[in-house]
Chains A and B, each alone.
Chain A
Amino acid sequence: MYPRQKHLLAIAGLRPPEIGHLLDLAENYVLLNRSGKTQRDLLRGRTLINLFFEDSTRTRTSFELAGKRLGADVINMSVSTSSVNKGETLLDTAATLNAMQCDLLVVRHGQSGAPHLLAQKVEAAVINAGDGTHEHPTQGLLDALTIRRRCGRLEGLLVAICGDILHSRVARSNIHLLTTMGSRVRVIAPPTLMPSGITALGVEAYHSMRDGLRDADIVMMLRLQKERMNSGLVPSAREYFRFFGLDSEKLAYAKPNALVMHPGPMNRGVEIDSAVADDPLRSLIKEQVEMGVAVRMAVLDSLSRGPR
């Protein structure tokens, strides 16, 4: 599927058939995983390194499991972000990785564009597992797979993404993916958390949950980090929850059977109410985690066949 690309650095730039192919491939892996079978010969003898400059349990574990189910040798490297010269660490690490003859490199970094920089310096195929406030492509893919499996399609659906759009790499990847695949996307945030020029990405922007959620098929909530309160972008957690937290009252603005998603980890009582998050009829949050493994298997599979 990737005659064009060696790496997966972003959703932006992918074409609908490429996204569709990855989702189809992931769909097969869902079935494989559920059947309890494995396909350990696919990446046998290949080395996958999880290089995480930011803490993450969920994404790292998901990649680790995906790699192991395909038979790769998986190594986890956590790099302290407290070291004085982060930049040197990044390029020095690239040199180390080349020496180790790593085949697949999964990178999470706090700076936008860090995986692009690494991709220029390492021989491995680089998979962006979240870079700064830029993109988180596998999250976008797993969200799309979750929606597609439940609704049968992406085209024509109305998806509302709510919360800290400004700092969200998840939002950017989802916006690119969903608009590319023909969904209608709305973003809902207080003006201080809405990035400038966002409508140029093909979305409609709202500052009120009541207006933004109207007729939505999918309500996608984003995590609000505590430092946003300290930097004055939002006055307080309780004020945020009052206007932008998802509870059953606000969810009622959406379609009656609208589904709720969250990339995790959740701040219960800040951006989402437990009653909504844990509602088995409405919440897709657990399913998202399952899809995460399948999507990452699909990405590893297709990149390992890509141009070397």
Chain B
Amino acid sequence: MFRAVRLIDPASGRDEHGDLLVRQGIIADLGPNLGQPEKALLVQEEGAVLCPGLVDMRASLGEPGYEYRETIASAAEAASAGGITTLAALPDSVPAIDDPALVRLLRARGEETGSLTILPYAAITRHCGGEALAELGLLREAGAVAFTDGARALRSGRLMRLALSYACGFKARIVQHPEEPSLAEGGAATEGELATRLGLPSIPAAAEPILVARDIRLAKLTGGAVHFSHVSTAEALDLIRAAKADDLAVTCDTAPPYFDLNEMAIGEFRTYAKLSPPLRSEDDRLAVVAGLVDGTIDAVASDHQPRDADDKRLPFAQAAPGGAGLVTLLSVTIGQVHSGNLSLMQAIALLTDRPSKLLGYQAGGLAKGAPADLCLFHPDRSWRVEAGALPGKGQNTPFDGRVLQGKVLGTWKAGRRVFG
């Protein structure tokens, strides 16, 4: 039983001080001044917030294929430390998740952890290779929540059209990494003054809106639903905003680095700040914040891309892109509450209810009878991010050295405490 905490539940709009009672893994009751049953285990933290366990709609697990970077067990440990109880896993592993058996395997591996529900994305194309459509129907039937080729953009306009159109019949979204591949190829930073100073091969920011514009047109043509991941530019957000105003089935998410950091984080060749898409200008960062505030951005995802030290201890252009994001997801997002841009309710909604609805999965709510997937955090308490000392194997955080305000105190999966 949680006593005298601030209960925040975006699904119902609840924001009140009260208690929450868990019985046999299920939320038995919640509200102000509940009677305290005998033998109840009490959890009480002054000033703490209890919200639904976070739903992370985009993360790479490392497993299968890159176990040296992260395993499902280590990702689950990091997720729990970040307050995440449900996670949508990208399919561009080795092998790619392009077979119904692999979708079922991932779901089962999630259940085995006992702490993390894994919702598998399945590949749009076989091997995420961008050439032949995967068996979308069978994959959907096996439990794929949506389709994406992960960190690879689907290059062919024709295939994108087919995928949107075909997936529509199975009521599934196509999730796109929005970066025009021929403009992005070989690039390591956003084109502009910083890349010029450092002499780095660069990607024009326009690579993002170019692909977003194409895919919005294709969504309109096919009636299909497209979702853009880790949107990072003002121009792409303008296109998405306009598409939403036209009632097209267009949605998007972003990740904490894109509203908290700009390209200056690269400093002198810091490879932990090498991400895909690359960090942007300050103007683009501000546009992402505005997109969170006005609701153009539907969700915040960790965009967790675990990398080994050997992937990162290389000259910048050769280093693997991607940042570890599970542990810092909540804290960095809460940063937008402290800076006055978002309400706590908005921030929690972006991390729970809204991604849950996008994934079509019942999670991320505080309601009687719902599984007790819970996150207890203190919005004001601070902690220091230290690469090398984070839970899980992925240590490549772009926030290394930062002091973040907002700390996860405990995480519960189906009523069982898995962190804290």
Contacts and interface: CB of A to CB of B under 8 A. Distances in A.
**Binding between chains A and B:** yes
Interface of A: 12, 86-88, 90-91, 109, 111-114, 116-117, 131-135, 169, 172, 195-198, 200-201
Nearest to B189: A112
Contacts of B202: 196
B35 interface: no
A169 B198 CA distance: 9
Contacts of B310: 87-88
23 contacts: A87-B314, A90-B315, A109-B315, A112-B198, A112-B199, A112-B200, A113-B198, A113-B317, A114-B315, A117-B315, A133-B201, A134-B199, A135-B199, A195-B196, A196-B191, A196-B192, A196-B195, A196-B204, A197-B192, A197-B193, A197-B196, A198-B196, A201-B197
B377 interface: no
Contacts of A112: 198-200, 269, 315-317
Contacts of A172: 196-197, 199
Nearest to A135: B199
A12 B198 CA distance: 10
B282 to A, nearest CB: 13
A200 B192 CA distance: 9
A133 B196 CA distance: 9
Interface residues of B, number: 22
Contact of A113 (B192, B193, B204, B316): B316
B188 to A, nearest CB: 9
B193 A111 contact: no
B283 interface: no
A111 B315 contact: yes
Contact of A87 (B268, B269, B315): B315
B313 interface: yes
A132 B195 CA distance: 12
A117 B199 contact: no
B321 to A, nearest CB: 14
B318 interface: yes
Contacts of A198: 196
Contacts of B201: 133
Contact of A117 (B200, B204, B314): B314
Given A88-B310, A196-B191, A113 B196 contact: no
Contacts of B198: 112-113, 134
Contacts, number: 73
A198 B192 CA distance: 8
Given A116-B268, A135-B199, A169-B199, A90 B314 contact: yes
Nearest to A87: B314
A169 B200 CA distance: 11
A132 B315 contact: yes
Contacts of A91: 313
B311 to A, nearest CB: 9
Central interface residue in B195, B196, B310, B313, by most chain A CB within 10 Å: B196
Contacts of A134: 198-200
A111 B269 CA distance: 11
A147 B196 CA distance: 25
The 9 nearest A-B residue pairs measured at CB: A111-B315, A134-B199, A197-B193, A113-B269, A133-B199, A87-B314, A195-B196, A112-B199, A200-B193
Contacts of A114: 315
A99 to B, nearest CB: 19
Contact of B318 (A87, A116, A133, A135): A87
Interface string B191-232: 111111111111010000000000000000000000000000
Contacts of B200: 112-113, 133-134
Given A87-B310, A117-B313, A201 B196 contact: yes
A87 B309 CA distance: 12
A169 B201 CA distance: 13
Given A132-B317, A197-B193, 8 more contacts: A12-B197, A91-B313, A116-B268, A131-B199, A134-B198, A195-B195, A196-B204, A198-B196
A172 B198 CA distance: 9
A172 B314 CA distance: 22
Given A87-B310, A91-B313, A116 B199 contact: no
Interface in B258-272: 268-269
Contacts of B193: 196-197, 200-201
A161 to B, nearest CB: 14
A134 B201 CA distance: 10
Contacts of B196: 172, 195-198, 200-201
B313 A111 contact: no
Contacts of B191: 196-197
Contacts of A197: 191-196
Interface in B146-200: 191-200
A198 B199 CA distance: 11
Nearest to A131: B199
A109 B199 CA distance: 13
A131 B197 CA distance: 12
